Amino acid sequence: MRDNGVALAAERSTQTIYVGDTIDATEYTLSYDGSSVKAKGLTAVYPSGGVYGGDKLEIEQAGVYEITYYADVNGVRVEETKVYTAVRKPKDIIYSTDGATIGYGKYEVESPYAMKKNTYGALVTFKAGTSIVFNTKIATKKLTADYNILDLIVMPEVFKETDFERLIVYVSDVNEPNNYVEIVIDSSNVVDGDGQVSYVRAGANGQQIGGYEGSKYHTTHYGTQIEHSFRGLARAGEFRDNITVSEHSLTVAIDHSEKKVLCGPMSYDVDNKLTVNDLDDPANYKGNPWGGFTSDEVSVRVVASAFTKATGKVIIKSFGDYDLSKDIVDTAAPQITLDYPEEEALPVATVGMEFPIIPFSAKDALDEQVKTNVYVYYLSSNGQKINVSHDGKSFLAKYEGDYEIVYRAEDYSGNVTERKVVIAAYRKAPQIFVGLDEVELTKNVYQTVSIKEASDVQAFGGHGNLRIERTVYSPAGILLDVKDEL
């Protein structure tokens, strides 16, 4: 018996700090014998388990810190321990290696008109030749028409002026970077000199970039039209009270099962997206259809180009599961994966023999590393769970009955996942019968011997994978090399 795992979010009763903060021990006040005393130093336990001592602590990891402040008062050591949770700001899940700068801000355009609403998010300032990458990945199984990979809005410095005219979003297979989808977003200013809308086209792995505008398919300049302006312009004929600056953002999505790229929303139909391109449509890609991503995750990179000014700004409102208009508090527990086929019955143990613990791995969406443990219990007939010692690789099944193996993973913020597997132990080992067509072979020296496959293999009792190996020894007892083919 096995379960699919139980995820437990960490309780948030600690004081919040931020990645990038500095904790200065000398600014902390201790209480001693009715008096206030300034701390002299601190000892900190990092979320990863590392320990630091000094008077200043740079907060480099997100997660839970246990910090003990101390001072010496007339030869007496005074201590006080506090627990902090360091959270990420929106900019902390984005990085650039080529000169783009990432901060936090709101949509502000130099204009005689007031903004209708405040739109906050990660504020990226691009220059020619720069790009950004998100340091957390998106699970491939989440890629549906309703799942926004990005929600963004170009923020011109001055209303009605163009800073740059193209954004390109690359969504790439984590394990096969050459397997990617390219989404090109162009300002309509390129083709109509107005810039009230954007045109979106897409392709994969070197396919012709294209986009549908109604039933018409475009491969250059035009594409799927979205009410998003690189110049902050509202659509002609759109009336608003005391506002002319457009605040329409643009979302992009990939329907992985259908191999389609979508974008949206339209101001009059915010619940639906438009199909940009069908990447396995034989009408456009006969002989070169996109087969989809093969890895469990994808990475995302964004590039700005076609600059008319020195810099261009983009507000990223959201990325995948993350709302970038506010702090990123990690509430998602790690995912545990057992190295054993989900569809197969679990193996059984034999009393008096070591049982190999099924290997596992754990992965967290935000933290690169997680803390893992394995616990083994014997489930006695009176309902007690008795701890069983093990070395992490196997345990000795001393008694007949059920053994519970608990796999545990905890991220730096204290979110925990536990997954349980129950293994049955029997006194009699499962019997395996191997039938051979030729039991004895007679060959001359230096003559090649062909070893027949087992003609009949049967297992009586037990579950799990059954592996048959052929081993050959010389008359002197030396293990010989056996080739699958000559």
Cβ 188 vs Cβ 198: under 8 Å: yes
Dump pLDDT digits (tens) for 279-327.
Answer: 999 999 988 999 999 999 999 999 999 999 999 999 999 999 999 999 9
* Per-domain residue ranges of the chain: 20-87, 90-323, 335-426
Quick one: which H or E segment has residue 189? Answer: helix 189-192
Phi-psi region of 369 (alpha: psi -120 to 50; beta: other; left: phi over 0): beta
**pLDDT surpasses 60 at 460:** no
Among 193, 189, 307, 188, residue whose Cα is nearest residue 201? 188
Q: Which amino acid is at 130?
A: T
Q: What are the beta bridge partners of residue 143?
A: none
Stretch 466-473: mean pLDDT: 73
State residue 345's pLDDT score: 84
Q: Which amino acid is at 104?
A: Y
By three-state DSSP, how is residue 191 classified? Answer: helix
Q: What pLDDT score does 265 carry?
A: 72
Give the range among 43-47, 62-66, 92-96, 444-448 with minimum mean pLDDT.
444-448
Fold held by 335-426: Immunoglobulin-like (2.60.40)
Average pLDDT of the chain, as a whole number: 88
- pLDDT, average across residues 145-155: 95
Cβ atoms within 10 Å of 395's Cβ, excluding its own: 21
90-323 CATH choice from 1.25.40, 3.90.550, 2.30.40, 2.60.120: 2.60.120
Least confident of 31-40, 267-276, 366-375, 419-428: 267-276
Tokens read off for 271: 């619940």
Position 422 confidence tier, pLDDT thresholds 50, 70, 90: very high
Q: Can you give the pLDDT at residue 486?
A: 44
pLDDT surpasses 90 at 478: no
Q: Which long-range contacts does 295-298 make (Cβ < 8 Å, 24+ apart)? A: 295/140, 295/173, 295/174, 295/175, 295/176, 296/139, 296/140, 296/141, 296/174, 297/137, 297/138, 297/139, 297/140, 297/174, 298/137, 298/138, 298/140, 298/143, 298/171, 298/172, 298/173, 298/174
Q: Which residues contact 135 (CB under 8 A, 6 or more apart)?
A: 93, 94, 95
Confidence of residue 118 (pLDDT cuts 50, 70, 90): confident
Query: Which residues, in sequence order, are CB contacts of 322 under 8 Å at separation 6+?
Result: 90, 93, 136, 328
Q: Which of 3-17, 53-67, 118-132 is least confident?
A: 3-17
- At 222, list the tokens: 């035009």
* 234-276 pLDDT, tens digit each: 765 444 455 568 888 999 999 999 999 999 875 455 567 899 9
Instruction: Provide the pLDDT for residue 286.
Output: 86
Alpha-carbon distances of 348 from 188, 198, 394, 420, 429, rounded to whole Å:
65, 61, 13, 15, 9
DSSP conformation class of 343: T
How buried is residue 224: exposed, middle or buried, by Cβ count under 10 Å (0-12/13-18/19+)? buried
What the block records as the tokens of 248 is 């329409």
Average pLDDT (146-160) is 95
Under 8 Å CB-to-CB from 59, ≥6 apart: which residues? 17, 18, 19, 20, 21, 22, 23, 65, 86
Lowest mean pLDDT among 109-118, 123-132, 265-274: 265-274
Q: Are strands 138-139 and 472-473 parallel, antiparallel or unpaired?
A: unpaired
Give the number of other CB atoms < 10 A from CB of residue 358: 17
Q: Which residue has the higher pLDDT, 401 or 9?
A: 401
The pTM of this model reads 0.81
Spell out a b/e string for 243-273, using b for 16 or more CB atoms within 10 Å of the CB, else e: bebbbbbbbbbbbbeebbbbbbbeeeeeeeb
Rounded to the nearest 5°, which phi and psi values hold at 335? Answer: -105, 130
User: In angstroms, rounded to a whole number, what is the distance separating the alpha carbons of residues 353 and 210?
Assistant: 63
